[in-house]
Amino acid sequence: MAEELDPFRIAQEQLKEAAQVMKLDNAALQLLLEPMRTYIFSIPVRMRDGSTKTFTGFRVHHNDARGPCKGGIRFHPAETLDTVKALASWMTWKCSLANIPYGGGKGGVICDPKKLNQTELEALSRGYTRAVAKFIGPKVDVMAPDVYTTPQIMAWMVDEYSKIVGHNEPAVITGKPLEVWGSEGRNDSTALGAMYILREAAKYKKINLKTATIAIQGAGNAGNYAFSLSKKLFGSKVVAISDSQGGIYSKKGLDYEKVMEAKDKKGTVQAYKDAEKITNEELLQLGVDVLIPSAIENQITGSNASKVKAKILLELANGPVTPEADKILAHSKVFDLPDFLINSGGVIGSYFEWLQNVSGYYWKLDEFNARLDEMVTRSFHDVMQRQEEYAEAGKKVSARTAAYTIAVDRVAKAMKARGWY
């Protein structure tokens, strides 16, 4: 039987497993298995040749029992509604685990932004904003960048929304440039939060990060910052990194500046000469101390999970490990830390930006980073404690399931208190 790789079905399966462990009320489970609201819409854009092309867009609100929905927007040629629904549900658990007052949301557009010029990209961004304007807002749904969307796109969107409502409204979107009410620290907060958790995980597993080797799948925003920050904070040796075209490996370690220079010039890390070319699949199987998948969903599956040799698996991407892979990793020596814990620094950073926008008072970078460190460190130890509590009760659960039980319990209690079930 073929392994289920639909991200939304995977998200539902993960929830059901946690619900069974924690004996969740069935009424609460049924409320949480499906999004509360799903929007599908068309966005007409005048193209450079004078024609009009219609793009399909999505916005999903999974659950808002604990506060406004929160989630990014993806521009991707392979975007699907099920992917957006999965990401929205994972955002619910991410916000709940971090214990910030948000629910889960997500958005996307089926498009290839690499084939759009600046004018077309701006028109698409503003068109998306107009399409969702009635369903978003600082107290309703707060958007942010995600795959192939940028701070510049967020600036266009906040400008369009502000025109619609008739006043400046920076708190409707996070991940904005500093010039339009963005926050210091937001750009690298996803990777920095992961590095703070890696520090705690290394202590937990007695691994010396100064001598540790790291492989990173994905050279986008999160992977790029993970590369630079792991060297800057710990002195770790990044021996491999990849992008959509393939990867590179060097036992002696990779030079960050030269790798990124090669990627900027040629569009791929494989343009870096002083390393061996490898595939993404080979990168996942390297015998390193830390493996960081920071690309897209379903990278570690039932077919390759047994080949993962890393001591720590730091899930920086959303949904990189499938349920079948989870079962295999649970019986291995790999210390697998779940995505909605590891990449929570991004939404925590967005929360900080939103707080500053709402209050009109802006923090210094040191304050931002110190608060981020405090919150992700607490979440890591909450998960470890919950996992140990289950173990003491004679029930072995993964770190992912332990994290789910914390997050789901908080949302279920909020729904119960509000009289939803």
Structure confidence at residue 5 (pLDDT)? 81
Pull the structure tokens for residue 306: 């047994």
pLDDT bin (cut points 50, 70, 90) of residue 297 is confident
Catalytic residue among 70, 85, 94, 106: 106
Q: Residue 16's Cα: distance from chain center in Å?
A: 21
106 a catalytic residue: yes
Predicted model pTM: 0.93
User: Which CA distances in Å does 329 have to 21, 118, 181, 322, 353?
Assistant: 19, 44, 43, 10, 36
Say how far apart CA 315 and CA 343 lie, in whole Å.
7
Say how far apart CA 208 and CA 160 lie, in whole Å.
49
| Chain segment 161-215, per-residue pLDDT in tens | 999 999 999 999 999 999 999 999 998 999 999 999 999 999 999 999 999 999 9
pLDDT bin (cut points 50, 70, 90) of residue 319 is confident
What's the whole-number mean pLDDT along residues 388-401?
A: 93
User: Which CA distances in Å does 26 have to 19, 192, 416?
Assistant: 9, 37, 12
Mean pLDDT of the residues in the chain: 95
Contact indicator for 348, 189 with CB cutoff of 8 Å: yes
What's the whole-number mean pLDDT along residues 97-117?
A: 97
Structure confidence at residue 299 (pLDDT)? 87
Tell me: pLDDT of 1 over 60.
no
What's the whole-number mean pLDDT along residues 70-85?
A: 96
What's the whole-number mean pLDDT along residues 376-383?
A: 97
Tell me: pLDDT of 379 over 70.
yes
Domains along the chain with CATH numbers: 35-175 (3.40.50.10860), 189-295 (3.40.50.720)
Angle at 163 between CA 161 and CA 167, to 5 degrees: 95
What's the whole-number mean pLDDT along residues 213-227?
A: 93
